[in-house]
Amino acid sequence: MTPGSAWRTSCGRSDTPAGTPRSRLSTGPLRAYREPVRAHGRVAEVPDAGPSDHVCWIYDDDRDLRNAVGRFVAGGVARGERALLVGADVADGLVRATLPLGGIEELVARGALQTLPLPEAHDPHGRFVPEEQLAFYAEATRRAIDDGFRGLRVVAEVTDLAGDPARRSDLVRWEHLADELSAHGPGFTAMCAYRGHLDQEALSDVATVHPLVHAPEGVPPFQVFFDDGRLVLTGSVDTFTADRLTAVLSATPVDGERTVLDLGRLDFVDAAGCRVLAHWAQEVCPRPGRLRITGTSRLVERMWRLLTLDELAPVTFAEGRA
């Protein structure tokens, strides 16, 4: 095979019911899957509230956003979470919506609903540091729990950040960190809202790093998210999307000590996609045996060897789940 050859191979496994386990991508011992994969994929409506929700909601008009925010917040309040609305558009829209459990005034009075201007959390024109965002929301989650709530449910309208190509890589990294916090943290859930007038490249960049996505057809072509001690790649990766995968993986917060990459729900991958994975493995897990790839077919392993990627990145393959 030559570089970029379109050798595609199905590498998915049979679907299992969606679930919401929470754990950190860690250096701990690998364990058998005893739980279904975290809820993921495209959604037409806001899903029922769960403990590790991280939703990308791409919307076309204010009514769509208002309805989505109302349902997302209502589900969290019913679970005993505090809701934090970031951005004037989000707050104004929800004020006009109807919420259960006493409505807006009651929720605000007992601290179950808070609002925050966008610049205080995500300054669209100032310095944006993903790690500082992580510290901010981790602390806000801790305060919510200390105040007796089950966790913190955030809705943020961050279209302006996604519309700036110079800062989009930082935004993608922040969304990765937010997803890790949702997957393993003490009770952080989030809906990230983006207006649909952004170009498809911007929408695909941000949607790719959310497990749950409401977006136009074809956005995103694949998804990368955390679940149960591993990094999961779903969807389709080929020559045309390989560059995006390179950018996404470069922003993925993994420590390289012992990483598990789950391809069990990847629809197909070609040679270009495999090369991206190999170069990423070489960078983050330079020592042999540090990266374990699970859920692959024997054809993927064979392609890896025929392309001599095992010389570039000697990984451990497992057909089943780790």
Which residue ranges make up each domain of the chain?
Answer: 1-37+228-322, 39-220
Q: What is the pTM of this model?
A: 0.83
**CATH code matching the domain that covers 1-37+228-322, chosen among 3.40.1110.10, 3.30.750.24, 3.10.560.10, 3.40.50.150:** 3.30.750.24
- Give the DSSP letter of residue 73: H
Query: What digits encode the pLDDT tens for the residues 23-70?
Result: 333 222 323 333 456 889 999 999 999 999 999 999 999 889 988 998
Q: Are the CB atoms for 233 and 266 separated by under 8 Å?
A: yes
- Asked if residues 228 and 240 have their Cβ atoms less than 8 Å apart, the reply is no
Q: What does DSSP say about strands 188-195 and 54-59: parallel, antiparallel, or unpaired?
A: parallel
In the prediction, which pLDDT does 134 show?
94
What lies within 8 Å, CB to CB, of 311 at 6+ separation is none
Give the Cβ contact number of residue 5 at 10 Å.
Answer: 13
Residue 304, both tokens: 């890896």
Work out the angle at residue 251's Cα, subtended by the Cα atoms of residues 305 and 40, and round it to the nearest 5 degrees.
80
252 in the Ramachandran plot: left (φ > 0), alpha (ψ -120 to 50) or beta?
beta
Determine the pLDDT at residue 96.
Answer: 56
- Chain Cα centroid distance, residue 317: 24
> If you classify domain 39-220 with CATH, what class do you get?
alpha beta
85-138: per-residue pLDDT in tens?
997 677 666 655 556 556 677 888 889 999 888 777 766 566 789 999 999 999
Residues of the chain with pLDDT > 90: what percent?
A: 54
